[in-house]
Amino acid sequence: MSQFQIVIPLYPDVTHLDFTGPHQVLARLPNTKVTVASMGGVDVTADGLTFANLADMSKIEHCDMLCVPGGFGTTDAMLDEAFMAQIRRLGGGAKYLTSVCTGSLILAAAGFLRGKRAACHWAWRDLLVPFGAIVDESRVARDGDIITGGGVTAGLDFAFVVAAELAGETFAQSIQLGLEYAPAPPFASGRPELASPKVLAAVKAGLAPGAAARLAAAEQAAARLPPA
């Protein structure tokens, strides 16, 4: 029996927890190979960490599951035609199309989410609309074989959903126990509806400088898609 192939494509300014969290879970699945790749196999820096020894996306023949992480680099990645061509090629032959955080914007820019429900980071989920996607505010959203996680830490919940899909709930729960994943955050401020007005305003202010550029990139990428 051939191995189930999962590919995680990286790009500059990706958010490393978007993929390292899911990778920690998915790498423990039986008969599964997780390949982390980049354009040309070049090193990728994310929040001060550099990820090396990456596979070259163009040399990966196919995958069974494409898992696209998000990050501030999403803005440029959506408009990088060489990168997006590889996303379309690999995603077009995959059984499962998945993402974490703003990685769903990349799936949308590739034309995979038109008419599909998808999750995204709370601050950017409305940018799915120009692509014809249906915004889902769930922590993990599923529409057929499209499984998307919301903001950064939702990648772990997303990964356990995928693990249950591929290896059964008992195995997924065994991984959860092995990793002692029993979240009990010290603050109830992980979603905008839970955070205090002061915290929410501060975070929105911090994100504001890049908002216009990301909106423009989403609209430009959406305009490149062929008509429905």
Which residues participate in catalysis according to the annotation?
101
113-135 burial: b if 16+ Cβ within 10 Å, else e: beebbbbbbbbbbebbebbebee
DSSP characters over 64-112: SEEEE---TTHHHHTT-HHHHHHHHHHHHT-SEEEEETTHHHHHHHTT-
32, 166 in Cβ contact below 8 A?
A: yes
Residue 114 DSSP class: T
